[in-house]
Amino acid sequence: AAPAPGEELKMVLVVRQDLKMGAGKIASQCAHAATGLYADLLASNRVLLRQWEQFGQAKIVLTCKNQQEMNRIKETAEHRGSGWV
């Protein structure tokens, strides 16, 4: 579902704690995910990308316990109409 025009958008990066990555690995994976998402949106939904940029390109990093919890977060995001990559 598309966000309403003027709605604030955030990029949410979810890190699995069970992968026990160090800070450098987490940072590079988040950078990878962020540029990947940027490239995807550039190709598929430029309106959404511009809207996100207008709100300061907000990014949040969350952690979750494991793949199962990540799947639940993903389902919730999709249910609420948030995008997920």
Give the residue, chosen from 3, 13, 70, 82, that forms a contact with a second copy under the rule CB under 8 A.
Answer: 13
Kindly tell me which residue out of 3, 34, 48, 69 binds a second copy, with binding defined by CB under 8 A. 34
C-alpha–C-alpha distance, residues 63 and 18, integer Å: 10
15 binds a second copy (CB under 8 A): yes
SS (H, E, C) the chain: CCCCCCCCCCEEEEEEHHHCCCHHHHHHHHHHHHHHHHHHHHHHCHHHHHHHHHCCCCEEEEEECCHHHHHHHHHHHHHCCCCCC
Which of 44, 54, 63, 68 forms a contact with a second copy (CB under 8 A)? Answer: 63
5 is an interface residue for a second copy by CB under 8 A = no
Answer yes or no whether residue 44 interacts with a second copy by CB under 8 A: no
Site of interaction with a second copy (CB under 8 A):
11, 13, 15, 23-36, 38-39, 42, 53, 57, 59-63
